[in-house]
Structure 1
Amino acid sequence: MRVVMVRHGETDWNLHRKYLGHTDVPLNQKGYFETAEICENLLSDLAPLNGNILIASSDLQRCLYLAKRVQERLHVKTDIIVNKSFREIDFGDWEGLTFDEIQDKYPKQAALFLKQPNQLLFNGENLEQFSDRIVNGIQNIYNDVKDIHNINTLLIITHGGVIRVLKSLIHKGTPSDYWQYSANHGEVFCFEYPYVS
């Protein structure tokens, strides 16, 4: 199965470089504009598949808005699979703060985070938990649809961290390698699933 992951458009928290995980922040004006662009790009890339697409999305509004627009634009008849597995990492106490604010408020945690990014100590998820959640979400959907022959593409509307984790795993890295990768707003990342990890 082909998996196409797309990152949502910009929010004000993204603009101000605040850690944005499970907090349900809406798109800003630029994010709505980016949504229209993303839909047009996906239309040209995915329209030839003739409705053999299944759409899944994080349950947060910045992703759901895009998922609904893509569903309309591509004329996908199946319901969107809304799945918390595709949420951004839970930043816990760091949600809504910039890294400078984190360093001021939680200096020991910030220093540890820079040295050992998988040992997060701020009442959120660590990278292993985050990675496991994402992979389990994809595997569960795959198990549900692998025998449905007319579904050949899973389109997942998600967050930057989710895409970065998948890039690191597919390139034979570990979840903590995800800092080496980027995922811009509206970025599309494709891979075949199952993949060899």
Structure 2
Amino acid sequence: MQSFILIRHAETLSNSRARWHGDSDEPISPHGRKEAAAAALRLRAMGQVPRLIVCSGLLRARQTAEIFAQAVGPVEVVSDSALGERDMGDWKGLAPSEVEDRWPGRLAAWEAGLVEGPPNGETDSAVTVRALDVLAKFTDLGKGLVLVVTHGGIIRSLRKAQKLPNIPVPHLGGCWTYLRGSAADWSVGPEVVFGDPESLPKT
């Protein structure tokens, strides 16, 4: 069994403004850099030193991964575009309140598992499949933890597939995930929070 810790990248300016930027690219904010450095030290203090860090190809995830690698290293960082954030379709650039104004009840229906995703956006099922395909690439490298720096949409979709609450993921928080040889045999484990536990984003 291969163990992964999946975490969301550090904060960006769009995150701080409570807007979905989806698969558009954006660096982490100055506050996000400070939070990522502190989070990496918390991971190291717990004795959870990864043998490899895998990240999304988007800048905010790569920057977060590099900060972690410097703090717990030397650790190789591997980027994979298939770990990128979901396409938020018609909701890209909007705040939850704006989504509710334009599509009353649709956001709540998505969070409740009644719909698969935003209008004209990527479905939860599609996100889950591509994320698991990436994780499966790293199940035959021997023992040791793999840290995955990705996006809230990836983690939410994986949790939703396991019938867990579809709620916003804190920056630098996420969950343990386990694969037993293939993308078809997997499970989500306990939550992890390496950032501010009191800071729960709206997106």
Query: Does residue 115 of the first structure (1) align with residue 109 of the second (2)?
Result: yes
Tell me what 2:195 maps to: none
* Deviation sequence 1:38-75 (CA, Å, 0-9, x none): 1111222346x5xx611100111111111111112222
Shift of 1:96: 1.0
Of 160, 169, 181, which residue of structure 2 is paired with 1:183?
169
Query: Does residue 64 of the first structure (1) align with residue 62 of the second (2)?
Result: yes
Tell me what 2:157 maps to: 165
Tell me what 2:16 maps to: 15
Q: Which amino acid aligns with 1:137?
A: V
| Normalised TM-score (structure 1) | 0.78
The size of the alignment, in residue pairs, is 179
Q: Which amino acid aligns with 2:155?
A: I
Shift of 1:6: 1.7
Of 171, 178, 199, which residue of structure 2 is paired with 1:192?
178
Cα separation, partners in 2 of 1:119 and 1:5, compared to 1, 3 Å: closer
Taking the aligned partners of 1:82 and 1:196, their CA distance within structure 2 comes to 22
Cα separation, partners in 2 of 1:29 and 1:90, compared to 1, 3 Å: same
Q: Which amino acid aligns with 2:145?
A: T
Larger radius of gyration: 1
| Normalised TM-score (structure 2) | 0.76
- Which is richer in helix? 1
Shift of 1:182: 4.2
CA contact (8 A) 1:118 1:128 kept: no
CA contact (8 A) 2:177 2:186 kept: no
* Deviation sequence 1:123-155 (CA, Å, 0-9, x none): 32011111111111111332xxx1x33x42111
Residues 90-129 of structure 1: pairs in structure 2 closer than 5 A: 90-104=87-101, 106-107=102-103, 111-115=105-109, 117-120=114-117, 122-129=119-126
Structure 1: runs of 5 or more not aligned: none
Cα separation, partners in 2 of 1:65 and 1:46, compared to 1, 3 Å: farther
Quote the sequence identity (%): 23
CA contact (8 A) 1:112 1:119 kept: no
Taking the aligned partners of 2:116 and 2:138, their CA distance within structure 1 comes to 29
User: Is the partner of 1:70 in helix, strand or coil?
Assistant: helix
- Which is richer in strand? 2
* RMSD between superposed Cα atoms in Å: 2.4
User: Is the partner of 1:141 in helix, strand or coil?
Assistant: coil
Taking the aligned partners of 1:127 and 1:192, their CA distance within structure 2 comes to 19
Shift of 1:20: 2.4
